[in-house]
Every structure is written in C-alpha cells, then in structure tokens.
A and B are shown apart, each in its own frame.
Chain A
Amino acid sequence: MFEKRWLLDQLMEWAMADESVKVQMFRFVDVLPMLSTHEAVTQHLQEYFEEVRTHLPWAARLAVESPQANTIFGKALAYSARKSSRMMAERFIAGTKVEEVLKSVARLRRQGLAFTLDLLGEAVVSEPEADAYQQAYLDLITGLAPHVNGWPEDPQIDRDEHGWIPRCNVSLKLSALYSQFKPIDPEGSAEGVKARLRPILRAAREHDAFVNVDMEHYAYKDLTLEIFKQVFLEDEFRDWSDCGIVIQAYLPEAEDDLKDLLAWTEDRGTPIWVRLVKGAYWDYETVVSEYRGWPCPVYTEKWRSDDNFERQTQFLMQHHNTLRPAIASHNLRSLAHAMAWAEELDIPQSGWEIQMLYGMAEEQAQLFAERGHRVRVYTPFGELIPGMAYLVRRLLENTSNDSFLRHAYDTSVSIEELLRRPADAALSKAS
C-alpha cells in the first residue's frame, strides 16, 4: 500500500491482521499531530503498544519498546513515526494551503481527472469558528476559480451533456456553518446556516463554481436535506443547477429521501446533482445507536448497503435529467452496475459522473478516465490536526474486512467473487 517501508507502514500491515493492534495504531496516529516533542511521541508510541505487546511480532516489539525517549534511537523512532504519519496523511489529504492544493488539483487535471475540494476543519464549536469556515470557502472560491477557469479546456471533464460545467467544485458541511446547529431546533439552525451559506453560493455563481452539500451523521441528515431544499428554492438560487447533495446508501431511508428529492426538484424546475455514496460513518452510527438504545439507522450487513447502492443508482439513472447522478464508489461491481444502467438507458458518458476519494483506488480512477468517463476526485485539504478524523476514517475503510479495495489486492479472492451481486455474496457468506 505504501511506497516506503517506514515503521508505521509495517505496523499498518500488522494492524490489518489484528484488531487490537489496529485500535492502538489508529489512536496513536490520531494523537500524533498534537505532540510537540520527540519525547512525547516516543512515550505515546510505547504507551499505546504496551497494551498489545503480545500481539506484535518480535521485531516490532524491539523497535517500539527499547528506545529511551532521549537517546538517538528514541529520536529516530519519533522521527520515523512523524515522517510516516505525514506520508500517510499526504496520501489522503491534498495539502494544507491553497497553493499546495492548486498543485494537487493541477496534477489531477493532467491525469484527466476533475476534483471537488473539501476543507478539513476542527469541529465548529463557536460562531467565530463558523465565520472562519465560511471565509475559508469564500477565499477558496474567489482564489481558485479564476485560476482554474483559465486552464485550457478538457471537454471530457469540463462539459456534460447540457454544456459547460464548473471546474471549480467545492464540497462543504452545513453543520460547520453554524455553531449551534442542533436538530432539536431546525428553524434556528436553518437560519444560522443559511445566513452564512448564501454568500458562499453567491460567490460560487459569480465565479462559476459548483457547491456540493456533504452529508454527515445520521442525526444531521434530515436537517441537512431540509436546509438544502429551503435555500435552493429561494428566488436567488432556484434556477441554479451547479449544486448538489449527498445520499448515503447505507441508510435504508435513502430510497425515500431520493424520491422526496425528485419531487422537490421537479417542483423547483432546475436539476441538481446527487452524489450517491455508501456512507462514511458506519462505525460511528452503529456504536452510537447501540449506546443510546436507538434503532440502528444503517444496514448492519455490508451487502445490503451495496445492494441499496445499486437500487438507488438505478433510480438516479432513470431520473438523470432531474437528479444528475454522481456515483461515488471504489467498488468495481458498483461502478460496473452504474455503467450498465447508463448504457441501458442510453445516457451519454457526460450525463453522469464517477467520484472517488483522493489517494484511493488511483489506478481505477485513471482507468475510468481513459475509458471516457468524467471522474471527479473528492479532495480534502487542511491542517493535520483537524485532518486526523478524516484520516482515521480513510484508514478504517482501507483496513476493513469488508473493503472492496482490500479484497482487490488480495490475490486469494477471485474476480468472480469480487464482482458478484451483493445479494449472492450474502448467500455465499451464509453458506
């Protein structure tokens, strides 16, 4: 998975094989950016792996346990840990500053890939922080759009079946636009969010940029959809099609939400984009619902999410003129299924798009682009400390036993198995 064999890479490999090592590993990666001295790094590393020492191969034990924090070995260990965590982060996070981001998206474009940018931020717990989040997006749009709009045209990613589409594409989280975002108070939350969202939308329209509203935890879903519908029905934005929202297929409610969005969009009279994902908060949702004694909002079996993803893909394809499909997955079966429906319904390649995450399944992204698809890469950027939550989600995904990508690299899994219908995969698992 990683090019250089740093200590953490090796630990990562062991982590894939042992859940207890994985937990300690991710906890260590999570705290690392907060540690300012090499003593602190060495000390934390030793403390975390102390608890799982018997699960580690002897070489790892030797490397982790022996150095004293203040010796040359201790410093080397701390350096190695920092270095490899930065490399891990750089794999999934496109940079900390706008200039670095620009370099990353220019590189994507050279590979024939489109992008959408996501600012990784700290949890917004105050109004000044919500202001800062809004300002960062305004700066991003006004800073980046003129630049990328000056690029020579690449019809495959700059046009859809209806014409020119924005190159500058940003994804944002509504909860970060208002510190008192609370589902218990939908009216107040909507007011707070919309007040900061409208200037971003205006800037986006002015600079030909696209704004996608990301989806977060289940508890925020209804409120996010509600605010999206309110703001994009306002006179100012009603006729604007460069906007989109996310539907998470791991939620059984996805189907009803999509139907509701379809009716709403028909009423609005201007199409929107819908990014269909499986959903990134599966662990959180299952843990939290069990803790609270609430019904689990997500499918607990992976194949059901895959199956629902296919059903909702079909729905989107069937209504692609109203709800424009952005099919976001690294699962080749899911994408092949989307392609089949697009062909079946005679939807041109430019009429829908594939989305993938920065740093993941890069070969596949390249492959689909070469086959003429518009592939958009979800590209997070930002400081490392707030980026850790995102990084840990990606690492979890990459090391999950149910991960398509993990199986794709596993030579013992056959192509037939990988591309099996989700329901059949479930049957074979049961038998």
Chain B
Amino acid sequence: MSDSKQPTPAVRKAEPFRNEPHTDFSRKENREAFQTALDDIAAQLGGEFPLVIGGKSINTRKTLASINPSRKSQTVGVVASATSDHAEEAIAAANRAWESWRYVEAAIRAEHLEVMAAEIRNRRFELAAWEVYECGKPWAEADGDIAEAIDFCMYYAQQMRELGVPVQCDYPGEENSYSYRSRGVCVVIAPWNFPLAILTGMTVAALVSGNTVIMKPAEQSSVIAAKLMEIARDAGIPPGVLNYLPGVGEEIGPVLVESPDVNMIAFTGSRAVGLAINKQAAETDPRQRGVKRVIAEMGGKNAIIIDEDADLDEAVQAVVGSAFGYSGQKCSACSRAIVLEACYDAFLTRVKAATESLKVGPAEHPATTVGPVIDQEAFDRIRDFIAIGKDECTTVVATDVSELAEEGFFIGPHVFADVDPDSRLAQQEVFGPVLAVIKAEDLDQALELANGTEFALTGGMFSRSPRNLQRAREEFEVGNLYLNRNITGALVQRHPFGGYKFSGIGSKAGGHDYLLQFLIPINISENTLRRGFAPPPDDEKA
C-alpha cells in the first residue's frame, strides 16, 4: 500500500476534520433560542410515533409511554411497540432494500449523511429540547449530544469517501484492486444516555458502509429515535434501508439477534446484554449467510487518579464534573477517585463541599447541573448501591432531594470514602451519581487499584510530574486515557471512543477504523495480458 522504503515518521497526523461547535450559552440569543425551543416542544408532547418498516408507518396494538424523568406525570410521547412479527417484517424489508442500497456509490451514500447532518443542524435546539424532556438531559449536555450526532454523520461521510476509492496495486499484465463491500442487514441496538448521538453514530456508520439497518432504540428514548427516522427519510434514505423498530428489548431483541437474515449487530449498553448478544450471535443457523459480526460498547468503572502534586483546583472540578454530569449516567463517568495519601484530606474536603454545592433539579431549568435519573428501575438500582455505600463505607456526601422525589426520579449526588477496592461499590457499574473515593499509598498502588476491575473504558490522572504521567500512559489499562482533564465528553475524531476488557468488543466510535467493522474487504486481481499484449498500468494512463 505505502512505499516501504520511506522511514516511518515519528508522528502521524489525523486527517483534518472540524467538530460541530457546542453552543455558547454565554450568549443571550442562544439562551433565548433554546428556551423558545423548550416552549415549542412542550406544546407538542404526548404525540404518537408508529413503527417505520419498509417506508411504511405501522401502528401497533401495544404501545410504550415515554415519560419525562424530571416530571413523571408528563408523557413525552406514545410509541408503538413492535412484536416479533414486526421484527421479522423489518428484517425482510431491510434485506430487500439491501439489494439496491449495496450498489449505491459510496460518495452518494456519504452525501446522504451530509444532508442528515445539515438537517440535524437546522433542527438543533428542537432536538435538544426533546432530549431535555425525554431523557432528563440538562441544556448543555443535550446540546453536546446533538453536536456529536452531527459529527458522526460528517466524519463517517468523510471516512467513507476515502474508503470508497479502491486501492490499486497494478503490475504490468495484472491489475489488483482492494475495495470494500457492505455486510448486509445490521441491527442497531442503542442506549438512552446519548439518545441521538450514539444511535446516530451506529446507524449512519452502517448506512454509509452500504448496509441496511433496523434501528432498535432504547425504550426510554424512542421519541428522539423517531425524530432521527424522520430526518433520515427527509434526507432521502430510501424505504427499507432504515427501519424504525421501537419495542421492548427482551421481546424483540432475541428475534433480531438470532435471525439468519441479520448479518451484523451494533450494540451499546450494559455488559450483561452485550455479552448475551455476543453469545447468541455466535450460534450459527444453517440458513444464515455467514458468521455474524458483533460490535458492542459496554460499561465502565472509570477511575481518576489524583497524584500528590495535582492541581487540586482542576482535579476537584474535573472529578465532580465527570462523576455527576448527567447524573453519572455515562459509560465514561468517573465512579472512582483514587487519591494519593499526601493530598487525600485536602482533596476530599473540597470534593465534599463542591458536590454539596451542585444544583439538583429538573433538566428544563438552566441552573440544573444534576438532573434526574432515567427511570424507576434506575432509581431503585442506584438506591441499592447507595444503601451498600452507607452500610460499608464512610458517607461523605448524601444529598437529600426528597422534595423533588414526588416530581421525578431524582437522586442527589453521593460520595463515599474508605471504599474497599473489592466491594461492589468499587467494582460494579452504578450508572448514577455515586462516587467512591479510595486512598492509595503511592502511584504503584493507585495504578493497581485503577486497573483492578473487569472494565477498561476511560480513566484519568491529575499529575504535574512528567514521569508519572508517562507511567499512566504506559500502565493505565483503559481505552480512553485523559491526563489533567475531565474524562467524559469525548469528541468525534479527537477522542475516538471505546474500551477493552469487558468494556467493549470492536474499535472506537468516531475513530478512523470504526467503519471497517461494517465492511468486508475484497481484493480483485485481473490478468490483463491477452495474446502477449497488455494495456499500460493505471498510473501511466493518466
């Protein structure tokens, strides 16, 4: 592929890409526009959203109510709930559509993504407002999610334009061409925590690679997913190429994963479901076309190490922000702070006060830093972890939000100290506003503790020692390591996102080799020598 005689350069630069800027909410016009969008959407809440299979809208007998986590009494939308028959129909529709979509030129498919990006950009605050209501995302977090969705469209479009050009390796008398084909039907199973970005990322990656998609959004964010379906349709994605199949995961998930007519599953969610999908997909049915490909982004138990010489101003803010942003409901969230003995007391004092100062409230309010958690199930699960913390550890912060609890699924930020590194609180993913603080004697122990879980997703270290930072680079077992900064908020291309160990299978979302997972590489060699005569190789033709 490349000229092997050239020395390997010390630095390889990423291709140029401009991320969609986040909204500057210090500007009055932006705050006003956002508030207007919130008011507009408030008037539209409660609508109905049918399935979309093969371009047809289908109402179902059973429905799911998507509710506002900040206000339990408010229904954001009534969403159709697919049965296994609908799942079969969707698979059939996607298979039919693949017969033509697979031959659409890569550049044209890329253009579809760019049109989607433009449409998302046009409807930016409207979509963010839907997220505020449906998922309890505070303003800036919702805005960031929309920007990321735009980035995924633009970045994967750019990537596919490059991958769509075959790599030639021609010799006199033989032309060799290396190119990519799509896999077929891809099932996308998405989470609710980045309701537009992650769903869009997995979906458009599959689409732009020439696959057709069955989009199964999380029950808690199916309305936003319906908006994405609308946008795709408006962008000219043909019927059947993208199908919208909301429903109960336990009911339709296995049908989708086990079907012999599905070729690939792209999943983001919990470790348990990810592993179950991986196992089911490994079963081979004699009718299926090949071995299924599974990519799964799973959980994390992410730690930030605070070294003795850390800038505590920065470290405290980064830990608090990473632990409690979106109520800790991010796979990248900081759930453990591992603090060197020398600065343990100073750090804990400031983290305690900073956490207690956070504003907990409904996501609609711009003052809110910590909104609600997603639903009753999450509420109960997180409360169980808090009970363990209170039982086994020193309670440092236990924010009481009982006056909000009537309204929505509110859990105040909690901080526990003296957490046993082997305890459930220090080992299992909480996915809520709970931070475990662990003391370490030295950096060796800190790194050992940080690596001592079954996950390897994100991690961070605050230190001003170049040597210690270097140790973290080499020894910290995570997919995304952040030095002297917060550990959430990965940006497409700048911070390709994904972990290993039990945090994920597959390469990084928003990274330069993500699309390859949706593609099958093919090499075509043609003998061009006939009767002793061969046309000149390609580069000489030009």
Given A40-B309, A44-B464, A184 contacting B25 (CB threshold 8 A): yes
A378 to B94, CA, bound (A): 70
State which of A9-17, A215-223, A271-279 sits at the interface with chain B.
Answer: A215-223
Also in contact, A125 and B21, with CB within 8 A (given A34-B464, A184-B366): no
> Per-position contact with A for B292-311: 1 when CB-CB < 8 Å, else 0?
00000000000000001111
Are A179's CB and B313's CB within 8 A?
no
User: What's the minimum C-beta distance from A101 to chain B, rounded to whole angstroms?
Assistant: 23
Q: Is the CB of A222 within 8 A of B466?
A: no
For residue A47, which residues in chain B have a CB less than 8 angstroms away from its CB?
465-467
Q: Which residues of A contact B (CB under 8 A)?
A: 27, 30-31, 34-36, 40, 43-44, 47-48, 50-51, 122-123, 125-129, 179-180, 182-188, 218-223, 292-294, 386
Which stretch from B42-50, B52-60, B354-362, B381-389 is at the chain A interface? B354-362
Complex: how many Å from CA A40 to CA B308? Answer: 10
**B353 near A128: Cβ-Cβ < 8 Å:** yes
Complex Cα–Cα for A221 and B26 (A):
9
Q: What CA separation (Å) do A244 and B311 show in the bound complex?
A: 32
Smallest Cβ-Cβ distance to B307: which chain A residue: A34
Report if B140 contacts A (CB, 8 A): yes
Interface string of B1-23 (1 = CB under 8 A from A): 00000000000000000111110
Interface pair A180/B367, CB less than 8 Å apart: yes
Query: A183 is contacted by which of B25, B314, B357 (Cβ under 8 Å)?
Result: B25
- If A40-B309, A47-B466, A220-B26 touch, whether A125 touches B369 (CB-CB below 8 Å) is no
* Assembled-state Cα–Cα distance A48/B466 (Å): 7
Q: In the complex the two chains form, is A122's CB within 8 Å of B313's CB?
A: yes
User: Is B464 a contact of A184 with CB atoms below 8 Å?
Assistant: no
Give which listed residue, A123, A222, A293, A294, contacts B28 with CB less than 8 A: A222
Do A123 and B317 touch (CB < 8 A)?
yes
Does B194 lie at the interface of the complex (its beta carbon under 8 Å from any beta carbon of A)? no
Across the interface, which residues of A come within 8 angstroms of B313, CB to CB?
122-123, 125, 386
Contacts of A51 in B (CB 8 A): 466
Please measure, in the bound complex, the distance between the C-alpha atom of A31 and the C-alpha atom of B307, giving whole angstroms: 12
With both chains docked as a complex, state the minimum distance between the C-beta of A47 and any C-beta of chain B, in angstroms.
Answer: 4
Query: Known contacts being A50-B466, A125-B320, is A179 close to B367, with CB within 8 Å?
Result: no
Whether B357 pairs with A125 at a CB distance below 8 angstroms is yes
A contact residues around B19 at 8 Å (CB):
293
Leading 6 A-B pairs by shortest Cβ distance:
A126-B353, A183-B26, A293-B21, A184-B25, A123-B313, A31-B464
Bound complex: CA A188 to CA B464 (Å): 35
Q: Which residue of B lies closest to A123 (CB)?
A: B313
Using A27-B464, A43-B465, A44-B465 as known contacts, say yes or no to A180 and B356 having CB atoms under 8 A apart. Answer: no
Given the known inter-chain contacts A179-B357, A222-B26, please indicate yes or no for A125 contacting B350, CB distance below 8 A.
yes
CB of A384, distance to nearest CB on chain B (Å): 13
Bound: A35/B340 CA distance, A: 13
29 A–B contacts, CB within 8 A, in A order:
A31-B465, A34-B310, A34-B311, A34-B464, A40-B308, A125-B320, A125-B350, A125-B353, A125-B357, A126-B356, A127-B356, A129-B350, A129-B353, A180-B357, A180-B359, A182-B367, A183-B26, A184-B31, A184-B140, A185-B366, A188-B359, A218-B26, A221-B26, A222-B27, A292-B21, A292-B22, A293-B19, A294-B21, A294-B24
Interface size on B, residues (CB 8 A): 39
**A35 vs B310: C-alpha distance in the bound complex, in angstroms?**
10
CA distance A126 to B399 in the complex (A): 14
Number of A-B contacts (CB under 8 A): 96
Residues of B with C-beta under 8 A to A386: 313
Set of chain B residues within 8 Å of A126, measured between Cβ atoms: 350, 353-354, 356-357
With a CB–CB cut-off of 8 A, which chain B residues contact A184?
Answer: 25-26, 31, 139-140, 366
B464 engages A179 (CB within 8 Å) = no
Does B342 make an interface contact (CB < 8 A)? yes
Query: Cα distance A223–B24 when bound, in Å?
Result: 13
Q: How far is the CB of A370 from chain B (nearest CB, A)?
A: 41
Q: Which residues on the A side are within 8 Å of B26 (C-beta)?
A: 183-184, 218-223
Bound CA–CA A221/B27 (angstroms): 10
Chain B residues near A220 (CB-CB < 8 A): 26
Most chain B CB within a 10 A radius of its CB, from A27, A31, A223: A31
Bound-state CA distance A218–B27 (Å) is: 11
Q: Are B309 and A35 within 8 A (Cβ)? A: yes
Alpha-carbon separation in the docked complex, A183 to B358 (Å): 15
CB of B316 closer than 8 Å to a CB of A: yes
Known: A31-B309, A180-B359. A125 touches B466 (CB 8 A): no
Q: Which residues of B contact A294 (CB under 8 A)?
A: 21, 24
A34, A123, A187: the one within 8 Å of B309 (CB): A34
Bound together, the chains give a CA A294 to CA B21 distance in angstroms of 7
- Which residue from chain B places its CB closest to the CB of A188 in the assembled complex? B367
Contacts of A34 in B (CB 8 A): 308-311, 464
Given contacts A34-B309, A125-B357, 4 further A-B contacts (CB under 8 A): A125-B317, A180-B369, A219-B24, A386-B313
Residues of the A chain whose Cβ atoms lie less than 8 Å from the Cβ of B467:
43, 47
Q: Is the CB of A179 within 8 A of B354?
A: yes
**CA separation between A35 and B24, bound complex, in Å?**
37
For B312, give the chain A residue with the smallest CB separation. A122
Tell me the chain B residues, 337-380 only, with Cβ under 8 Å from chain A: 342, 350, 353-354, 356-359, 365-367, 369
Asked if B309 and A44 make an inter-chain contact with CB atoms under 8 angstroms apart, the answer reads: yes
A residues less than 8 Å from B365 (CB atoms): 185
Residues of A within 8 Å of B366, CB to CB, are 182, 184-185, 188
Closest B residue to A178 using CB positions = B357
The minimal Cβ–Cβ distance linking A26 to chain B, given in whole angstroms, is: 11
Give the docked Cα–Cα distance between A30 and B59 (Å).
63
Q: In the complex, A34 Cα to B467 Cα: how many Å?
A: 17
Docked CA distance A223–B31 (Å): 13
